Structure 1
Amino acid sequence: MSIAASSDAARATRRPVNANGVPIHTTSFIGTNWTNRTAESPPPPEPGSYYPMAFLVEQPPGSVVQSHFHAADQFQVVVAGGGHLGRHAVRPVTVHYTNAHTAYGPITAGEAGLHYFTLRNGYDPGARYVPQEAAALKAVPGRTPWQTTTAPVEPGPVIEGPARMEEMLEPRADGLGAWRHILPPHAALTGPDPAQGMGQFWVVTGGRLDGMPPLSLIFVNPQDAARTAMAGAEGAECLILQYPRRAADA
């Protein structure tokens, strides 16, 4: 069953946390992560276990989060502010994807700060920073380091004509892909077959989708039927981000 998380409901979870010495704010949308785990939380799954996780990071102006890696495949979506992710200038709307156990960064916020979603389909206990953890990273068996960052796309106006779709990441044979959909008022959107990959995050970047405002999320499991959602009276913009299958998932 898919999971819907409205930005209106998630707002109550916003809290200050420390990310390796950087004071950030996080807002939790789906799953338990290092920022919202409490003594009452269920025991965490094993790192890398299939487990949808989603939270919004607000990084303050001029701050730098050191290069690091995670135990799960990850999408990040820049939704406000600007800055740099490694060598790449980022601003709304930019998509970054990285395989598990791939070092990326640093993440540098510009003068307006930098806000981005962190979206995973596997459990991760928290960032491991390089160069301190470089030896541990190299020792991970069978890792396939790879990452990519898309060019930013400007939010578009409400459209009255046919719905439009743009590929942000060209679909691969293993299921990895990212698509941007721009919908006129009251248009329906049916996503790709979830069985092609290992889960999809839908990110509302404009208008309303299934009644949910911008910065709301939907997670679609690979066992689910293809998801259909409806744009509101003002139309909608939505990203669909699909994770790749691994050999163990076949």
Structure 2
Amino acid sequence: MPVLAPGEAAHASRRAIVSNGVHAHLTTFIGANRYVAGTAPPPGPEAVYPMAFLVEQPAGSVVDAHFHEANQFQLVVAGSGTLGTHAVRPIAVHYSNAYSAYGPITAGADGLHYLTLRNGYDRGARYLPAAREELRGVRRRFRAAVADAAPPGAPAAEPMTETLLAGTPDGLGAWRHRLPPGAALQGPDPAGGDGQFWVVTAGALQAADGATLPALSCAFVGPAEPPLAVTAGAAGLEVVVMQYPRGRDHVAGQE
């Protein structure tokens, strides 16, 4: 079954953190992380393990260039800033493979809020240049895209799909869907990749089991699940679907 994470439930986990000298806030949606312990030991890098949390980076702060042990999407949901040399604002999507360095992340005058989404467990950022030796011999991938801002106010009059990251032969891709009230949407086949995150950015998503995910909620669909089928709520729906590439070329034996 997909893992559903309503935003209002996750809000109770919001806490102040300090990372790389930056004072920020973190809200956990799915999985354990280095600030929120799980109920069981974390799995190895070969296992599908969804992690989702919201980072609220304060105005003017800078998170230095770094990398992670797991494949990762980041979705900017509020504020503005830069990621490396790329200007970012809602709705910006960034993808990087495990052991692929990126950054720095610089928050603008109104701060920068982004969801961090992984399909494998990660112990925390490895900052450069101190951790540079860990990057030797690992294949790296980096892609980024920024979607046009959705018009404010009324929901879409008809279903619309915008490609944020064009699909690749190994399944990597990201798309934004805007739906009028009551419209149906079926996602891509999860077997084509290594898991999907769905993030509601406006309106509400109605799942097949009757669950409702309002704005700033997310869901994870594993690669063995059937395609996710949803409908838009009474105010319509805007949802970003992000799919990880097949395989884990950072794990021995899975290149």
Give the TM-score category using the shorter length: over 0.9
Aligned counterpart, 1:217: 218
Aligned counterpart, 2:169: 173
Find 2:49's aligned residue among 39, 51, 54.
51
The one-letter code matched in structure 2 to 1:43 is P
For the 8 Å contact 2:89–2:146, the answer to whether it is kept is no
The one-letter code matched in structure 1 to 2:108 is G
The one-letter code matched in structure 1 to 2:240 is L
CA deviations 1:72-98 (Å, max 9, x no partner) are: 110000000000000001000100000
Find 1:153's aligned residue among 127, 148, 152.
148
Which secondary structure does the structure 2 equivalent of 1:11 belong to? helix
Which secondary structure does the structure 2 equivalent of 1:51 belong to? coil
The one-letter code matched in structure 2 to 1:230 is T
Which secondary structure does the structure 1 equivalent of 2:9 belong to? helix
RMSD: 1.5
1:15-94 superposed matches below 5 A: 15-37=15-37, 41-47=39-45, 49-94=47-92
Find 2:103's aligned residue among 102, 105, 111.
105
1:186-201 superposed matches below 5 A: 186-201=182-197
List alignment gaps of at least 5 residues for structure 2. Answer: 207-211
The one-letter code matched in structure 1 to 2:9 is A
For the 8 Å contact 2:147–2:164, the answer to whether it is kept is no
Evaluate the alpha carbon distance shift between residue 126 and residue 37 of structure 1 in structure 2; reply closer, same or farther with a 3 A threshold.
same
For the 8 Å contact 1:186–1:235, the answer to whether it is kept is yes
CA shift, 1:160, in A, is 5.3
CA shift, 1:156, in A, is 3.2
For the 8 Å contact 1:90–1:152, the answer to whether it is kept is no
For the 8 Å contact 1:14–1:28, the answer to whether it is kept is yes
Aligned counterpart, 1:129: 127
Aligned residues: 245
Distance in 1, matches of 2:2 and 2:219, equals 7
The one-letter code matched in structure 1 to 2:158 is P
The yes-or-no answer on 1:233 pairing with 2:237 is: no
Find 2:204's aligned residue among 208, 220, 223.
208
Which secondary structure does the structure 1 equivalent of 2:169 belong to? coil
Distance in 2, matches of 1:156 and 1:48, equals 41
Aligned counterpart, 2:181: 185
Aligned counterpart, 2:209: none
Which secondary structure does the structure 1 equivalent of 2:214 belong to? coil
Aligned identity (percent) is: 53
CA shift, 1:45, in A, is 1.7
The one-letter code matched in structure 2 to 1:183 is L
| 4+ residue runs over 4 A deviation | 247-250
